[in-house]
């Protein structure tokens, strides 16, 4: 097992790496490729035997498919193995966008059923940007329902995972959450999560940084996978990635190792979630975590430039 640390205000001990199970839910619209069930089950079995003790999924990943596949392995293993942490997320209805308190109940109950568990170690309120703050925080609304589950012990710890930083900060201000997930906003290419990180450090909230490869490009390379934050990219961003790749090559460092360690070397971040769909990724990720990176490379990569703008600026307007 990799060394563990306590995740913010929770009682959970987690490794610096977490395995993201979004691709394992078979989401070709998001990742541009299919992942068959047998392949996903092999990855999940290997994950629960790996030095990484933290797995991340969501009700919405493949609309239950990621949780269903994890649940098959959890049943084989007669539960989540001792020392491992399985986190999932409560979601809106993907077909109707219903984000009501009742929908939260349906989401949580379905997660328990699919995962084959009677309680969840860490449940995040997922992607709150899909509904107005006043709706989700109203009496009887999504947040209140999740807090009630926590009171009952069905949810051991409550977290928050989402996109736009201003939205995330507003929810963090409610002091309802013990940990947060930010994604695609603290990478070699985008640092727009800085104010959220500062806020969470100040409050002692657990910080989980997801998608260090910007959903893939910083692992697969600019020519193989020219997408950032689940959208096609070109122009200046692609140029920056090419420059970063060349700098890494000069120092014999894989671009993916630099992208991963950009997150894991930051002492504010408790765990970094990496998504993958192939069994060999587990060892590759641990190798990238331990890759020796010369100090001067960080300054050179910074000098290439990065965005402080939200990567989905136009999506929620």
Ligand X SMILES: NC(=O)c1ccc[n+]([C@@H]2O[C@H](COP(=O)([O-])OP(=O)(O)OC[C@H]3O[C@@H](n4cnc5c(N)ncnc54)[C@H](OP(=O)(O)O)[C@@H]3O)[C@@H](O)[C@H]2O)c1
Would you give the binding string for ligand X spanning residues 40-59, x where CB under 6 A is met? ----------------x---
Alpha helices in 132-265 (DSSP H): 133-136, 142-152, 165-172, 194-203, 217-220, 235-250, 255-264
Element (H, E) at 213: none
Kindly indicate which of the ranges 133-141, 209-217, 263-271, 301-309 contains the residues binding ligand X, using the contact rule CB under 6 A.
209-217
# chain residues binding ligand X, by CB under 6 A: 31
Helices and strands (H and E) in the chain: how many: 13, 12
Alpha helices in 48-193 (DSSP H): 65-76, 101-115, 133-136, 142-152, 165-172
Contact with ligand X (CB under 6 A) among 128, 141, 161, 222: 161
| 152 vs 252 by CB, closer to ligand X | 252
Q: Give the Cα separation of 257 and 245 in Å (integer).
A: 11
Measured over the CA atoms of residue 193, residue 255, residue 238 and residue 162, the dihedral's sign is: negative
- Per rule CB under 6 A, is residue 183 in the interface with ligand X? yes
- Per rule CB under 6 A, is residue 25 in the interface with ligand X? no
| 8 vs 162 by CB, closer to ligand X | 162
Contact with ligand X (CB under 6 A) among 211, 253, 257, 258: 211
Query: With contact defined as beta carbons under 8 Å apart, do 47 and 283 qualify?
Result: no
User: Which are the contacts of 141, defined by CB distance < 8 A and separation ≥ 6?
Assistant: 100, 101, 135
Contact with ligand X (CB under 6 A) among 22, 117, 142, 233: 22
| 18 vs 100 by CB, closer to ligand X | 18
State the DSSP code for 81: P
* Site residues (CB under 6 A) for ligand X, limited to 223-262: 256
Would you give the binding string for ligand X spanning residues 90-129, x where CB under 6 A is met? ------------------------------------xx--
| 100 vs 215 by CB, closer to ligand X | 215
Q: List beta partners, residue 19.
A: 55, 274
Nearest residue (beta carbon) to ligand X: 275
State the residues that interact with ligand X by CB under 6 A: 20-23, 31, 56, 126-127, 161-162, 181, 183, 210-216, 219-220, 256, 273-278, 281, 284-285
């Amino acid at each position: 097992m990799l060394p563990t640390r306590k995740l913010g205000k929770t009682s959970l001990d987690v490794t610096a790496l977490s395995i993201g199970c979004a691709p394992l839910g078979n989401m070709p619209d998001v990742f541009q490729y299919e992942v068959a069930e047998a392949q996903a089950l092999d990855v999940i079995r290997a994950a629960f035997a790996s030095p990484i003790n933290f797995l991340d999924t969501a009700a919405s990943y493949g609309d239950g498919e990621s949780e269903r596949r994890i649940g098959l392995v959890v049943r084989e293993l007669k539960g989540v193995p001792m020392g491992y942490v399985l986190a999932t997320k409560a979601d809106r209805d993907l077909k109707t966008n219903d984000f009501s308190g009742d929908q939260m109940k349906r989401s949580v109950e379905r997660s328990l059923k699919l995962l084959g568990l009677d309680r969840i170690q860490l449940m995040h309120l997922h992607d709150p940007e899909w509904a107005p703050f006043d709706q989700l925080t109203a009496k009887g609304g999504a947040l209140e329902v999740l807090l009630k589950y926590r009171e009952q012990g069905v949810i051991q710890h409550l977290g928050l995972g989402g996109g736009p930083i201003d939205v995330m900060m507003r929810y963090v201000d409610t002091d309802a959450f013990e940990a947060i997930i930010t994604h695609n906003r603290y990478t070699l290419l985008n640092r727009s999560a800085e104010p959220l990180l500062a806020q969470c450090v100040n409050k002692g909230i657990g910080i989980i940084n997801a998608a260090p490869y910007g959903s893939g490009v910083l692992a697969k390379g600019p020519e193989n996978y020219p997408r950032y934050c689940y959208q096609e990219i070109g122009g200046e961003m692609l140029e920056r990635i090419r420059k970063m790749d060349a700098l890494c090559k000069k120092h014999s460092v894989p671009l993916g190792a630099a992208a991963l360690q950009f997150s894991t070397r930051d002492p504010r971040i408790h765990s970094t979630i990496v998504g993958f769909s192939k069994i060999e990724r587990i060892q590759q990720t641990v190798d990238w975590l331990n890759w020796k990176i010369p100090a001067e490379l960080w300054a050179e990569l910074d000098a290439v430039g990065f965005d402080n703008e939200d990567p989905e600026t136009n999506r929620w307007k």
